[in-house]
Amino acid sequence: MPVPEPVDVALVASADVAVGPVKTREMASPGVHQALAAHQSVAPAQRVDLEITEAVERQTRAMRELSRRAFPELETAPEDALAPIAAARVQRRREAAATEAAALQRARAERAAQQARTAAVVAHPAPLRTTA
């Protein structure tokens, strides 16, 4: 079968495109400029349907009522009372401090017991075993 020769893509692309200056808005005729200015100066008429506006307001009221039912306002706290989040943080810090104190006390007791056994072992050294 005969193999076709490769075609130069640059030649094909340049043949399809017309050569000339690029047209921009600034190069347009004065009539185009006048028509564009007239079009841009006219504000589009806003069509507000009163039924749609009333429906949106009804939906907004209904959603706010549902939100109020789902998330009722709590009674206001006294001025000197902590906010719920701050109170929870204080409680967590107290619990963490208690846990840390208990852990330190246990670690000290274990260390003392280990040192007491070490002192007893040093006082009565056990013979070392040999392997050969």
Structure confidence at residue 14 (pLDDT):
55
More confident position, 46 or 16: 46
Burial classification of residue 83, based on how many CB atoms lie within 10 Å of its CB (0-12 exposed, 13-18 middle, 19 or more buried)? exposed
Structure confidence at residue 1 (pLDDT):
67
Chain segment 38-65, per-residue pLDDT in tens: 888 886 767 778 899 999 999 999 999 9
Residue-wise DSSP of 52-87? HHHHHHHHHHHHHHHHHHHSPPPPPPPTTSPPHHHH
Confidence of residue 76 (pLDDT cuts 50, 70, 90): low
Q: Is the pLDDT of residue 130 over 90?
A: no
Confidence of residue 20 (pLDDT cuts 50, 70, 90): confident
**What distance in Å separates the CA atoms of residue 63 and residue 52, rounded to the nearest whole number?**
16
Rounded to 10 degrees, the C-alpha dihedral 11/17/20/24 comes to: -140
Q: What is the amino acid identity at position 127?
A: P
Structure confidence at residue 65 (pLDDT):
94
φ, ψ for residue 131, nearest 5 deg: -110, 5
Chain segment 83-111, per-residue pLDDT in tens: 788 888 899 999 999 999 999 999 999 99
Q: What is the amino acid identity at position 81?
A: A
